[in-house]
Structure 1
Amino acid sequence: MAVGKLFEPSEIRKTVHALKNDGDLFEIRCLEANGKKVSSGYFHDTETMVKQLCKLNPTESNIYIVLNDIKQECYSREQRDYFVVNSKIQTSDNDIVGYDWLFIDVDPRRPSGISSTEEQLRYAKCIGNKIYSFMRNLGFNEPVSAMSGNGIHLLYRIQLRNNDENKALVKNCLAALDMYFSDEAVSIDKSNYNPARICKLYGTMARKGSNTPENPHRMSYLISEGSKIPTDKAYLEKLAAMLPVPEKPRQYNGYNPQEFDLEEWLIKHGLRYQKTSYSDGTKYILEQCPFDSNHKGKDACIFQSRSGAIGFHCFHNSCSDKTWRDVRILYEPDAYEKKQQEYERRIYSRQPVQQQVKVIQPIHGKPVFYTAQDIMNLPVPEERFIKTGIADIDKKLRGMKKGYVSVMSGLRAAGKSSVISEMVLDGVESGNNIGVFSGELAPKNFMRWMNLQAAGKGYTEPTQFEGYYNVQRKYQEQIATWLDKKFWLYNNEYGFNFQAVADQFKRKIEKDKLDLLILDNLMTFDISDMSDNKFEAQTKFILTLQGEIAKPYNVHILFVAHPRKAMGFLRLDDISGTADLGNAVDNAFIVHRVNSDFKRLSKQMFGWKDDNPIYGATNVIEIAKDRDNGTMDYFIPLYYEVETKRLKNSQSENKIYGWNTTNDGFLEVSQEEIPFD
């Protein structure tokens, strides 16, 4: 028997090793092309399965494997360790313990019963690469990738129980991918969500129709084995949430959202498009993105499902957060606020009563007392804010205000260093220049930590030491190029005298237009020449930061101060140093680690219950003082990621920094990393 023409045993062994763990039960099915004969066998051992497959001699069959985790009891069925033809029972959805895989099948569209052409397969590879980059951008771990014989497979390792909720989640993930990537030439198979789903056993021949030069039979094969670490459920939920949700009946949609004429709206507002369909509705591929005219081709699309739900997506990183609501507001600013605006027009249409204000003779033309009108006409001081990347700080405080001084504190290992280096990266990402003094970390150590955070998931690799990760040199070089002329780290070899260091930073601010200055930490500075009294010296330190650097140079200064030993829950008054510190600074932040002490003490102080969502975080940053808005005792949950040392806003967050994007905003993926090229 010419086994090589039917299947490749070595390739089958690689496939089972990639898809199954040692000791897992798996089912192999051989389906004859005419559908009249199905052979099924359950196996624990790959060698036993290969021997039985050779005996079966499946000359006209296509061979598949059940992907997900089968209950061990199924091993006692009649087809134990050999193939049974037309067996009465095969693996059903109820026989599956849980989902091991999110199975993405990029399948060329063609008449049923024939193999794909070479041109169709090449296009499937192109779409497979786009999905690979898209999923990596979302934060998914590396997939198992394969050529199925007629198309491209991407299998992402997951770990979900077999229940209705997770079944719906997987179904919605595939529906979102279908919406984004299916077109007139390829489709993303939406049916691959059922727990007992079968998949091509790679290393076996794919036979559909006649084996012709135009539509040849091909041997399927594994391309990459992917990550052994399951992608967290939060990333699947993020993907599924990209499906548009039908609007509720409202005034702006005529109380009938299903009848909203999207195509008429596009024509009315001059948006040029190509119209095509996907399995659940209509796709309008825009000539250019509404938010950036440089984003052309098939980069931006508006979708309308059969339910009437409308969605928008641009594949460029800079527009990835934009939604259909953002698109509509761009062209109809009042679309969602007409009722409120009508109310405001009624209220504010009343003429204000002019007040006669008596003032004494002003000096230099300035009034002794300001009226509201005077204040309204005063020049508005320019305000600029530096984004921190911590969503709630950027929302509540608008970021770090230039000209202000902030203090950050926290117990040892609370996460202060992670927050600081991420603030550097997010500051640079938003176009700012940043200087850093790190009194406790050598330059190599500071940069190693920041390289991990800049790289992100998919660009770090484990070492022989548990919990210790590295970034390849080629990525370090790209990160360094991106940070060049935007980030500067003070060289500690020049000493720690505060006044000398401050003088150097003033020069640096003038020369390179720094926007943010980070000083880590107060205790490493030599401030003894400012006063013989420790607390008086610390007061002068803060006043110097405010009066001599922050305000005159219009730069935000964030410095770190260690707390004193606190008996209870760490508060602003516990920060080490002068009693004036809390009053003197403009903003104050406290970083907490969510451990047993944090939970116990926070319950005592705030009366929080065990089910408080904050306890689901790994770290918390507290806004303890906010001079402008008065925010205090506001706790922001953060989630630590071991591989990258990032503290994330949500478990599924995966930031892509500028070193890893092209000039047009696309995720940059090196050619050798894309599995299908």
Structure 2
Amino acid sequence: MKYDENEIRKAITLMKPDNELFEIRILEGKQNYSGYFRDVDTFLKALRTMRISECNVYITLNNVKEACYSRNQRDCFIKNANPNTSDTDIFCYDWLMIDIDPTRPSGTSSSDEEIALAQKKANEVYTFMKKEGFEEPIAAMSGNGVHLLYYIGLESNNENKELVKKCLAVLDMFFSEDKIKVDTANFNPARICKLYGTMAEKGSDTKERPHRMSRIIKAPGKPVQNKKAMLQKLARNIPEPEKPQRYNNYSPMQFDIEDWMDAHGLSYRKMSYGTGTKYILSECPFDSNHTGKDACIFRMSNGAIGFHCFHNSCSDKTWRDVRLMFEPDAYDKQFVQERHYPNYKDPNYQVHKVEKIKEVDGQPVFYTTEQIRMLVTPPEEFIKTGITILDQKLRGLKKGFVTCISGLRAAGKSSIISQLSIEAAEQGYRVALFSGELTAKNLLKWLLLQAAGKNYVAATSFENYYIVRQPYDEVISKWLDNKVYVYNNYYGNEFEAIMKKLQECVTEHKVDLIILDNMMTLNISALDMDKYRQQSIFVEFLESFAKKNNVHIVFVAHPRKSIGFLRLDDVSGSNDIVNRVDNALILHRVNEDFRRLSKQMFRWKDENPLYSSTNVIEICKDRDGGVQDEFIPLYFEASTKRLRNNTAEYKEYGWKESTEGFFPPTDLDEIPFS
């Protein structure tokens, strides 16, 4: 038996910290040896006594119940011991193990060529998981393939067993090919894993297929637990079977996906995976620049059809979106081509023209209803905020409208301001920013951190202070250049002067979104003698500016001191502010005051899901839809200053567009196999 004690120590220290109980199994042909251990020294002492020539050594992957330590094989090896660890003996899932193995004859070791395939595929999976927001895994060579171990710490039960099974099925669907597979069998709690630091001895040790030492290639100093929400998000990629539709004779099981793709000119390469079939498209239907292996259609054994593109811009597209792109009526009971007639009942209907009507400056004093209907108005346009529920309720930030954001100190106003800027830039809009509290340098730091994401930031010696890794700070800044314009405070804070400069900026740079942070730092004293009237004129000016220039304006207004739960009436000094604006939002920080005061006002219970978030954004006013008292939970990420929709959310923005999909790994995205 060949092994490396240093590598074994490294593996057990990482995988089984704090004297966690584990079982070791040594498999020698039809014989096996089992032992339960709590520490690496006792295990190594027992291992040195074993006189076995060719064998394979494994360790239980997950957390074994303490009672198993009282079995006969305590701190020693017993031949053909019974019982061994079963699923019911596992306390919790420690690890999601992704085993990437070459396809080869059973009972043989991998060739060098096959190992290279496994390494390449492992980097693809590693990069994908990183983009999904998963924490750094333990990456190891099993001897014949590659393992990626993600720390998950889930209770061992049927629900989580099914969740782990689905996650492996998704990775198999996305990444398995004819010559390389993601093993889908590693979902049961009592799964054993190669003990790194021991020799992998499958078949004969030949030059073509040699035995290799297993070892850890890359690992974090201390693995960080991935939240269950991350796994749930990954598992949702499993397509669900569609229901038969009698009205159009659609039968999912009889639907011929290959005939459909051929009929609509989709070029593909077919291969099998697990229990399904994968069709690798020559190009993505939504973006012809996404080629190679980036876009696939999947057909599962139960008839379910799925689609996935590995580029951010298409990652939300589904098979339904693909089908509707080519068949707009695919899911409609009755599809009727839109008719462009003034009156749907009478195609010859003509608007009766009023010959004499009093006008002022070319405008009617009173409209008839038909004149209103025939008015030509610009189409509504909305800038998405990236806050899912907010965008669903408000449709986004409507151009021509004004939004007021308020909130107490440390509620997340600075985070939301820079976040809105990045989300707008991602959609191709341009932003002009005035910040009376942050310097231009500090504002840029926030923008860079949020655009980078946690994979591209680094902690400093100061608590909760992070910086963007080089050279990504420059890459992101160049991506934001000519998309975000920051007012230079050297030119003062006179409101009317700033608005003149903003007008020039809008005209010259085609700005779509203006953010003023905040009203209190703007000098509006010249607008009127009375301070409340000043604020009213201020908002009136913004409303006129927004409509005239077809831009959306967001401004921050601090609330007055309040002894109760912060409400809309507490915003700044004049109720006329919130009466005039189109949208009003309040940011809350979820702390003890928030819990106490909200329970007093709304009679919320302790189990209210808002209390598990870090921040809440409240829709107080929505001129278009009438939404109010809508509370949306958000989750602050300290390393990036982001307010996320959920704890599993991880976004990558357009600065990575040139290198996304199955791209050659960067220094932060690769496993250093060599």
Please give the range of the TM-score, normalised by the shorter of the 2 chains. Answer: over 0.9
Q: 1:333 to 1:38 in 2, by over 3 A?
A: same
Aligned to 1:251: 246
Aligned to 1:314: 309
The partner residue of 1:550 within 542, 546, 555 is 546
| Aligned-partner Cα distance in 2 for 1:196–1:356 | 76
In structure 1, the residue corresponding to 2:49 is in which secondary structure?
A: helix
In structure 2, the residue corresponding to 1:501 is in which secondary structure?
A: helix
In the TM superposition, what is the alpha-carbon distance from 1:88 to its structure 2 partner? Answer: 1.7
Q: Contact 2:137 / 2:223 at 8 angstroms: preserved in 1?
A: no
In the TM superposition, what is the alpha-carbon distance from 1:340 to its structure 2 partner? Answer: 7.2
Aligned to 1:333: 328
Aligned to 2:23: 27
Equivalent residues in 2 for 1:180-199, closer than 5 Å: 180-199=174-193
Q: 1:561 to 1:356 in 2, by over 3 A?
A: closer
2:429 maps to 1:432: yes
In the TM superposition, what is the alpha-carbon distance from 1:482 to its structure 2 partner? Answer: 1.5
In the TM superposition, what is the alpha-carbon distance from 1:659 to its structure 2 partner? Answer: 2.1
Q: Contact 1:436 / 1:517 at 8 angstroms: preserved in 2?
A: yes
| Aligned-partner Cα distance in 2 for 1:493–1:42 | 70
Q: Contact 2:456 / 2:468 at 8 angstroms: preserved in 1?
A: yes
Q: 1:493 to 1:192 in 2, by over 3 A?
A: same
Q: Contact 1:106 / 1:188 at 8 angstroms: preserved in 2?
A: yes
Aligned to 1:513: 510
Matched residues, number: 668
In structure 2, the residue corresponding to 1:544 is in which secondary structure?
A: helix
| Aligned-partner Cα distance in 2 for 1:27–1:483 | 53
The partner residue of 1:203 within 183, 197, 200 is 197
| Aligned-partner Cα distance in 2 for 1:72–1:371 | 82
Aligned to 2:214: 220
Q: 1:449 to 1:369 in 2, by over 3 A?
A: closer
Amino acid at match of 1:576: S
In the TM superposition, what is the alpha-carbon distance from 1:473 to its structure 2 partner? Answer: 3.3
Amino acid at match of 1:598: F
Equivalent residues in 2 for 1:146-185, closer than 5 Å: 146-185=140-179
| Aligned-partner Cα distance in 1 for 2:463–2:134 | 21
Amino acid at match of 2:516: L
Q: Deviations over 1:364-406 (max 9, x none)?
A: 7876654554333322324332221112232332322223221
In structure 1, the residue corresponding to 2:35 is in which secondary structure?
A: strand
Aligned to 2:380: 383
Q: Contact 1:288 / 1:297 at 8 angstroms: preserved in 2?
A: yes
| Aligned-partner Cα distance in 1 for 2:474–2:74 | 54
Aligned to 1:78: 72
In structure 2, the residue corresponding to 1:259 is in which secondary structure?
A: coil
2:96 maps to 1:99: no
Equivalent residues in 2 for 1:272-421, closer than 5 Å: 272-339=267-334, 350-351=345-346, 359=354, 361-363=356-358, 370-421=367-418
Q: Deviations over 1:217-247 (max 9, x none)?
A: 1111111113521010001000111001111
In structure 2, the residue corresponding to 1:258 is in which secondary structure?
A: coil
In structure 2, the residue corresponding to 1:510 is in which secondary structure?
A: helix
Q: Contact 1:317 / 1:666 at 8 angstroms: preserved in 2?
A: no
Q: Contact 2:446 / 2:641 at 8 angstroms: preserved in 1?
A: yes
Aligned to 2:671: 675
| Aligned-partner Cα distance in 2 for 1:286–1:422 | 34
Q: Contact 1:13 / 1:46 at 8 angstroms: preserved in 2?
A: yes
In structure 2, the residue corresponding to 1:51 is in which secondary structure?
A: helix
In the TM superposition, what is the alpha-carbon distance from 1:668 to its structure 2 partner? Answer: 8.1
2:260 maps to 1:265: yes
Amino acid at match of 2:121: I
Aligned to 2:226: 231
In structure 2, the residue corresponding to 1:146 is in which secondary structure?
A: strand
Q: Contact 2:127 / 2:669 at 8 angstroms: preserved in 1?
A: no
Equivalent residues in 2 for 1:465-614, closer than 5 Å: 465-547=462-544, 549-614=545-610
| Aligned-partner Cα distance in 1 for 2:259–2:665 | 38
Q: Contact 1:318 / 1:665 at 8 angstroms: preserved in 2?
A: no
Equivalent residues in 2 for 1:629-648, closer than 5 Å: 629-648=625-644
Q: Deviations over 1:181-202 (max 9, x none)?
A: 1110111111100111111111
| Aligned-partner Cα distance in 2 for 1:668–1:662 | 11
In the TM superposition, what is the alpha-carbon distance from 1:433 to its structure 2 partner? Answer: 1.6
Q: Contact 1:128 / 1:676 at 8 angstroms: preserved in 2?
A: no
In the TM superposition, what is the alpha-carbon distance from 1:530 to its structure 2 partner? Answer: 2.7
In the TM superposition, what is the alpha-carbon distance from 1:419 to its structure 2 partner? Answer: 1.1
| Aligned-partner Cα distance in 1 for 2:644–2:68 | 42
Amino acid at match of 2:566: L
Q: 1:72 to 1:465 in 2, by over 3 A?
A: farther
Q: Contact 2:123 / 2:665 at 8 angstroms: preserved in 1?
A: no
Q: Contact 1:661 / 1:667 at 8 angstroms: preserved in 2?
A: no
Q: 1:57 to 1:437 in 2, by over 3 A?
A: farther
| Aligned-partner Cα distance in 2 for 1:437–1:311 | 45
Aligned to 1:241: 236
Q: Deviations over 1:476-512 (max 9, x none)?
A: 2222122112122223343322233333333333332
Q: 1:250 to 1:343 in 2, by over 3 A?
A: farther
Aligned-residue CA RMSD (Å): 2.6
Q: 1:672 to 1:360 in 2, by over 3 A?
A: closer
| Aligned-partner Cα distance in 2 for 1:611–1:437 | 40
| Aligned-partner Cα distance in 1 for 2:422–2:43 | 52
| Aligned-partner Cα distance in 2 for 1:618–1:39 | 50
Q: 1:540 to 1:343 in 2, by over 3 A?
A: closer
| Aligned-partner Cα distance in 2 for 1:607–1:42 | 52
| Aligned-partner Cα distance in 2 for 1:349–1:521 | 49
Aligned to 2:450: 453
Amino acid at match of 2:506: I
Q: 1:252 to 1:325 in 2, by over 3 A?
A: farther
Q: Contact 2:111 / 2:210 at 8 angstroms: preserved in 1?
A: yes
After TM superposition, the structure 1 stretch with the greater mean CA deviation from structure 2, 314-323 or 57-66, is 57-66
| Aligned-partner Cα distance in 1 for 2:248–2:350 | 44
In structure 1, the residue corresponding to 2:455 is in which secondary structure?
A: coil
In the TM superposition, what is the alpha-carbon distance from 1:214 to its structure 2 partner? Answer: 1.2
Percent identity reads: 54
Q: TM-score, normalised by structure 2?
A: 0.93
In structure 2, the residue corresponding to 1:589 is in which secondary structure?
A: strand
Q: Deviations over 1:636-675 (max 9, x none)?
A: 2212223322111122111111223326766785135311
In the TM superposition, what is the alpha-carbon distance from 1:350 to its structure 2 partner? Answer: 4.5
| Aligned-partner Cα distance in 1 for 2:303–2:658 | 35
Q: Contact 2:433 / 2:516 at 8 angstroms: preserved in 1?
A: yes
Q: 1:273 to 1:396 in 2, by over 3 A?
A: same
Amino acid at match of 2:395: R
Structure 1 gaps of 5+ residues are none
In the TM superposition, what is the alpha-carbon distance from 1:356 to its structure 2 partner? Answer: 8.6
Structure 2 gaps of 5+ residues are none
In the TM superposition, what is the alpha-carbon distance from 1:608 to its structure 2 partner? Answer: 4.3
In the TM superposition, what is the alpha-carbon distance from 1:91 to its structure 2 partner? Answer: 1.3
| Aligned-partner Cα distance in 2 for 1:160–1:330 | 40
In structure 1, the residue corresponding to 2:205 is in which secondary structure?
A: coil
Q: Contact 1:434 / 1:516 at 8 angstroms: preserved in 2?
A: yes
Q: Deviations over 1:304-325 (max 9, x none)?
A: 1111111111111211110011
The partner residue of 2:136 within 138, 142, 147 is 142
After TM superposition, the structure 1 stretch with the greater mean CA deviation from structure 2, 158-167 or 404-413, is 404-413
| Aligned-partner Cα distance in 2 for 1:370–1:131 | 62
In the TM superposition, what is the alpha-carbon distance from 1:250 to its structure 2 partner? Answer: 2.1
Q: Contact 1:176 / 1:242 at 8 angstroms: preserved in 2?
A: yes
Q: Contact 1:173 / 1:240 at 8 angstroms: preserved in 2?
A: yes
After TM superposition, the structure 1 stretch with the greater mean CA deviation from structure 2, 118-127 or 627-636, is 627-636
Q: TM-score, normalised by structure 1?
A: 0.93
| Aligned-partner Cα distance in 1 for 2:178–2:112 | 17
